[in-house]
């Protein structure tokens, strides 16, 4: 089962702001681990509280906050950021 990865506009901007090494590492993680996973929930953890429908993936010191759409096999990346800042509201 192949999952499709999509990024929101905000997530694209955040990815572009990262250094080349970190951005490449995140893209590689998404391509090699998430796209090919049988169930992407095995690799991440659910968020708690009001955002319990969202999941997070850890890539070094960075976190990818996403929503998993099972019916159309899409992992929608909502935010990408450093672990200190990614969960805070803008």
Q: Does the residue 90 lie in any domain?
A: no
- Please count the structural domains in the chain: 1
Whole-model pTM: value is 0.90
Return the pLDDT at 51. Answer: 87
Contact assessment for residue 60 and residue 26, using Cβ atoms and an 8 Å cutoff = no
Cα–chain center distance at 67: 8
Give 1 or 47, the one with higher predicted confidence: 47
Q: Does the residue 56 lie in any domain?
A: yes
Q: Does the residue 89 lie in any domain?
A: no
Q: Does the residue 75 lie in any domain?
A: yes
- Could you tell me the CATH number of the domain that includes residue 71? 3.30.2310.20
Return the pLDDT at 8. Answer: 96
Domain coverage including residue 30: 4-82
Q: Does the residue 65 lie in any domain?
A: yes
Return the pLDDT at 15. Answer: 94
Residue by residue, DSSP assigns 12-70 as HHHHHHS-HHHHHHHHHHIIIIITT-S-GGGTSEE--GGGTT-EEEEETTEEEEEEEEG
What are 9-49's pLDDT values in tens digits? 999 999 999 999 999 999 999 999 999 999 999 999 999 98
Tell me the average pLDDT of the chain. Answer: 93
Residue 7 confidence (pLDDT) above 70: yes
d(CA 81, CA 89): 12
Q: How confident is the model at residue 88 (pLDDT cuts 50, 70, 90)?
A: confident
């Amino acid at each position: 089962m192949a999952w499709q990865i999509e990024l929101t506009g905000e997530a694209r901007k955040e990815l572009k702001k990262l250094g080349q090494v970190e951005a490449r590492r995140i893209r590689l993680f998404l391509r090699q681990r998430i796209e090919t996973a049988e169930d992407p929930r095995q690799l991440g953890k659910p968020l708690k509280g009001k955002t319990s429908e969202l999941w997070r993936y850890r890539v070094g010191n960075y976190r990818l906050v996403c929503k998993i759409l099972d019916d159309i096999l899409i992992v929608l990346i909502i935010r990408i950021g450093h672990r200190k800042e990614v969960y805070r509201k803008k």
